Structure 1
Amino acid sequence: MFQRFLITSLFAGAAAGLIAGILQLMFVQPVLLHAELYESGALVHFGATPPSAHPELSGFDTVRDGLSLIFTMLTYTGYTLVLVALMSIAEERGAQIDGRTGILWGIAGFVTFHFAPGLSLAPEVPGVAAADIGARQIWWWGTVVAAGIAMWLLAFGHSWTMWGVAVIFLAAPHMIGAPEPDYFAGSVPPEIAALFAARAFGVGLAAWVLIGSFAGYFWQREGARENG
């Protein structure tokens, strides 16, 4: 069982993380680098131009981008370890785990780690006002835990009461409210910030779908190998 768990997590996490890292380099990083130009004062808001007008932002830096890919692979491998552990528990309860059902697991993971906290604490570009990082981290982790419990109850609950509790868990962090800065200010145009948030969510969804699908596929394959 441990070998099955380890192989599934490493292969699925590394593969999904590599693809996610490439997507980030293609779509997210140019917007982030563009925002950093405004933060540093190299560009001013007046007469701002879109990222596509700065092709140099899409250039490949071997060290920086290589480290970014490695970090992304490690991060998504960590996510996959959690997902596969939950898959194994669900399989013991009679759930079918394969590449197709893994997509649903991936969507649930995206909601838990990206969409739920990002609904009130959106991905931020450099140069924007932000609340205390400690308060944001506490709220983020609380929201992730609450959303994870909610996803499990929605998937495996067998009564309206459990589904109602899931809705409460999803809504509670946002009713409490995410930490906010004392005032809103920043040198980055709002269009850049909006594009960054949209692409961060898009890449995150794609990555989690890949994680779920790969994890389900490798989990089923390794299980068939053990039983064969």
Structure 2
Amino acid sequence: MFSKIVTSALFAGFCAGLIAALVQIVFVQPVLLHAELYEGGDLVHFGADAVSAHPDLGGFDVMRNGLSVLFMALTYVGYAFILVAVMSLAAERGAVINTRTGLIWGIAGFVTWHFAPAFSLPPEVPGVAAADVFVRQIWWWGTVAATGVALALIAFGRSALAWGAAIALLVAPHLIGAPHPDSFTGPVPPEIAALFASRALGFGFATWVALGGLCGYFWQRENANA
């Protein structure tokens, strides 16, 4: 069992990490680079002449993009270990794990790690006003944990009590409320912040669905070869 988890997670996580790196470099990184120009004062939003909405962000940065590929590969291998480990527990209870069901697991992962926290604490570009990072991290991890348990109760619960607890866990972090700054200030145009939030969520959805499908595929293949 352990060898199947390790093999499936390594292959699935590495492949998903490459997909994540490509999506980030093409769609997310340009928005971040644009925001950094405002954060560093190279561009000014209010009280200055109009600037292009599509500035020249320079050429291909081998070092930066290479580190992005490495970071994404390591990150998604870690995600894959978590996902495959939970899949193995579900398989022991009779759940069918394959590429198709893996896609559903990937959507659940996206909801847990991206969508649910973003409902109250959306992805932020550099330079925007934000609450204390430690407080935000505590709220974010609490929301991830509550959402993950809630989705497990929905998927595997067999009583109204389990489903009621799931609903309570889904709602609780947002009723408590995410930490926000006392005032909203910052040099980055709101259009860039909105684009980054939408790109970040789209990035999360695409990569988690890919990760889930790959985990299901490699798990099924390892079982067939066992």
One-letter amino acid of the structure 2 residue matched with residue 92 of structure 1:
E
1:26-175 equivalences under 5 Å are 26-46=26-46, 47-50=50-53, 53-54=54-55, 56-57=56-57, 59-175=59-175
Which amino acid in structure 2 is aligned with residue 176 of structure 1?
I
Give the Cα separation in 2 of the matches to 1:103 and 1:58. 36
Report the RMSD for the aligned CA atoms in angstroms.
1.0
SS in 1 for 2:57: helix
Please report how far the alpha carbon of residue 58 of structure 1 lies from its aligned counterpart in structure 2 after TM superposition. 6.5
Given the two structures, how large is their TM-score scaled by the length of structure 1?
Answer: 0.95
Give the drift of 1:211.
Answer: 0.5
Alpha-carbon distance between aligned partners in 2 of 1:143 and 1:69, rounded to the nearest angstrom: 28
Does the aligned pair in 2 maintain the 1:106–1:211 contact within 8 Å?
A: yes
Q: C-alpha distance in 2, partners of 1:156/1:48?
A: 53
Identify unmatched segments of 5+ residues in structure 2: none
Aligned match of 1:177: 177
Whichever residue aligns with residue 114 of structure 1, its letter is H
What residue in structure 2 maps to residue 208 of structure 1?
Answer: 208
**How many residues matched?**
223
The code of the aligned residue for 1:137 comes to Q
Aligned AA (2:103): I
Alpha-carbon distance in structure 1 between the residues aligned to 2:146 and 2:189: 33
Distance 1:100 1:41 in 2: 48
Shift of 1:125: 0.3
* Stretches of 4+ aligned residues off by more than 4 angstroms: none
Aligned pair in 2 of structure 1 residues 26, 58: CA closer, same or farther (>3 Å)?
farther
Q: CA deviation at 1:48?
A: 4.2
Amino acid at match of 1:41: G
Q: CA deviation at 1:182?
A: 1.5
* Counterpart AA for 2:23: L
Question: CA separation in 2, counterparts of 1:58 and 1:169?
Answer: 45
Q: TM-score, normalised by structure 2?
A: 0.96
CA deviation profile, 1:84-135 (whole Å, cap 9, x unmatched):
0000000000000000000000000000001111111111001100100110
Cα deviation per residue 1:10-52 (whole Å; 9 max; x = unaligned)? 00001011111110000000000000001111111142432xx
Report the Cα distance in structure 2 between the residues aligned to 1:44 and 1:160, rounded to whole angstroms. Answer: 55
Matching residue of 1:186: 186
Alignment partners' CA distance in 2, 1:49 and 1:108: 39
Q: Distance in 1 between matches of 2:94 and 2:57?
A: 49
Distance 1:63 1:187, change over 3 A: same
Deviation at 1:59, TM superposition (A): 2.8
The Cα shift of 1:170 comes to 0.6
Cα deviation, 1:131-190, whole Å, max 9, x if unaligned, reads 001101110110000000011011111122211211110110000001111211000000
Deviation at 1:60, TM superposition (A): 1.4
Percent of matched pairs sharing the same residue? 63
